[in-house]
Amino acid sequence: MNRPPPSWLHPGVRLIEAGRSVGWVEIAAQADAFEAAFRAAGGRAVLPPQGVPALVAALVAAERVGVELHLSRRASAETDGKPHGPGFAVLLETSGTTGTPKLIRHDFQRLRGRLRGAADPDARWLLAYEPAAFAGLQVILTALAAGATLVSAPGAAAGELARLAVRHAVTHISATPSFWRAFLLALDGEAPPLAVVTLGGEVADQPLLDRLAECFPNAKLRHIYALTEAGALFAVGDGQAGFPAAWLDGGIDGVGLRLSDGVLEVSSPRAMLGYGDGWLSTGDVVEVRGDRALFAGRLDGRINVGGVKVSPEVVEQVLLDVPGVRDALVQAAANPVTGHILTALVVPAPGVEEAVLRAAIRTAVADLPPAARPRLVTMTGSIALGAAGKKTRKGTA
């Protein structure tokens, strides 16, 4: 069948994956194949990881048939076939970074949100997130609407993605701060001609924002705050960490923001279906300093050190502020006396002497409360990231 693409998919889009470039003709053929299976799915279909072209074709087919599409992040995904509600919707899994993953139902039109931008066929995107993650799907939908080129290599490490970005002259990348640190280390003197640099999924610290601005002086730099449950909430483009504290009073772009016992709550028209019209607790701790609201870690990610709850993200920020530190991971280790102690993995910048760096770290953490000082600091060449492009921790309590 020679059907036109849906309104959200520009016919000029190109998807590059595994050395293969596909466009609407190939996407439509795969969508036709999915369509028959989805009609027999009983209201809900599940798609295990199969790459970006298959995901796009599945979205097209699910919209045609009017079923829920569960974009699974697991190869062994199953579905009971019973839809949460009528009509086309997308089911996304949360990352499960700090707990058991949840299944979130999104109306597709809400999921698209503010993505109805102008065509931009010259844009070349690199997909640095899991395709079935909320952030990954946002990148995919943005490229589809613009008729852009999207380069993807699901499961590839930052070094391989850096080489792909240079090879394909990528102009747009959206990724976690942890990915960006690894990406910068992997560039090895060559850099893609980036026009837009976007960060999301983790706290964007000031040293990283400054390094990105230095490496890509012609790029528009912004960090985005989004939740799987509530969609994209706001973007900050002034080059500073955190967001303007004034937004806690007046909101931004139709999104309400407030603090409850130091935890950020949001109210958004793009929230997941079935959540109501009230406020959603994000679980992110926010501290107001002057005219800036700064993120201070996850409420459920704090580590119990001798009865003192410590935010590993706050300690990481102290380490990342040390000259010569390119990345850091703070996590817990069991201790028979205090229950837990903090440990740290540190990635030094090239050419930095370890003894000098260790001395600088000792000085930096000396101002922290005793429970928040890492008792073991290990130097490493890189920090492994989870499938969502985020750091994974152990021992929170």
Residue 139 above 90 pLDDT?
A: yes
Q: What is the pLDDT of residues 195-215, one digit of tens each?
A: 999 999 899 999 999 999 999
H helices, E strands: number in the chain: 10, 22
Q: Is the dihedral of CA 380, 386, 389, 390 positive or negative?
A: negative
Identify the CATH class of 302-379.
alpha beta
* pLDDT tier at 100, thresholds 50, 70, 90: low
Cα separation of 346 and 327, whole Å? 6
Give the Cα separation of 191 and 331 in Å (integer): 32
pLDDT band at 282 (very low <50, low <70, confident <90, very high): very high
Ordered strands of the 325-335 beta sheet: 325-335, 339-348, 376-379
In the three-class reduction of DSSP (H, G, I as helix; E, B as strand; rest coil), residue 20 is classed as: strand
Buried-exposed string 8-47: b where 16+ CB fall within 10 A, e elsewhere:
bbbeebbbbbeeeebebeebbebbeebbeebeebebbbbb
Which residues are within 8 A (CB) of 231 and not within 5 positions of it... i.e. 6 or more apart? 106, 110, 111, 113, 134, 268, 270, 271, 272
Quick: pLDDT tens for 114-133.
665 678 999 999 999 999 99
CATH architecture of the domain with range 14-242: 3-Layer(aba) Sandwich (3.40)
Q: What is the pLDDT of residue 12?
A: 96
Measured distance CA(163)–CA(231) in Å, rounded: 30
Q: Where are the beta strands (DSSP E) in 290-348?
A: 292-298, 303-305, 308-310, 325-335, 339-348
Q: What is the pLDDT of residue 115?
A: 65
Overall average pLDDT of the 99-110 stretch = 78
Q: What is the reported pLDDT for 250?
A: 84
User: How far from 146 is each of 54, 56, 117, 195, 207, CA to CA, in Å?
Assistant: 19, 14, 7, 15, 32
Query: In the structure, what pLDDT confidence band is assigned to residue 75 with cuts at 50, 70 and 90?
Result: confident
**What residue has token string 């501290």?**
287
pLDDT in tens, 342-396: 999 999 999 999 999 999 999 999 999 999 999 999 999 999 888 788 888 765 5
Residue 357 has a CB neighbour count (10 Å cut-off) of 19
- Confidence band, pLDDT 50/70/90 cuts, at residue 2: confident
Can you read off the two tokens belonging to residue 353? 């002497």
**Residue-level pLDDT at 95:** 66
**pLDDT score, position 376:** 97
What local confidence, expressed as pLDDT, does residue 180 receive? Answer: 96
Say how far apart CA 54 and CA 133 lie, in whole Å: 15
pLDDT at 104: 84
Domain boundary assignment for the chain: 14-242, 302-379
| Predicted pLDDT at 81 | 52
Please give the Cα distance from 396 to 289 (Å, whole number): 26
Residue 103 has a pLDDT of 84
CA distance 106 to 97: 20
pLDDT tens-digit readout, 214-272: 999 999 999 999 887 777 889 999 999 999 999 998 889 889 999 999 999 998 876 65
User: Cα–Cα distance between 273 and 225 in angstroms, integer?
Assistant: 19
What is the SS3 string spanning 84-150? Answer: CCCCCEEEEECCCCCCCCCEEEEEHHHHHCCCCCCCCCCCEEEECCCCCCHHHHHHHHHHHHHCCEE
Number of Cβ within 10 Å of residue 292's Cβ equals: 14
Share of the chain above pLDDT 90, in %: 72
Span 28-50, pLDDT tens digits: 999 999 999 999 887 889 999 99
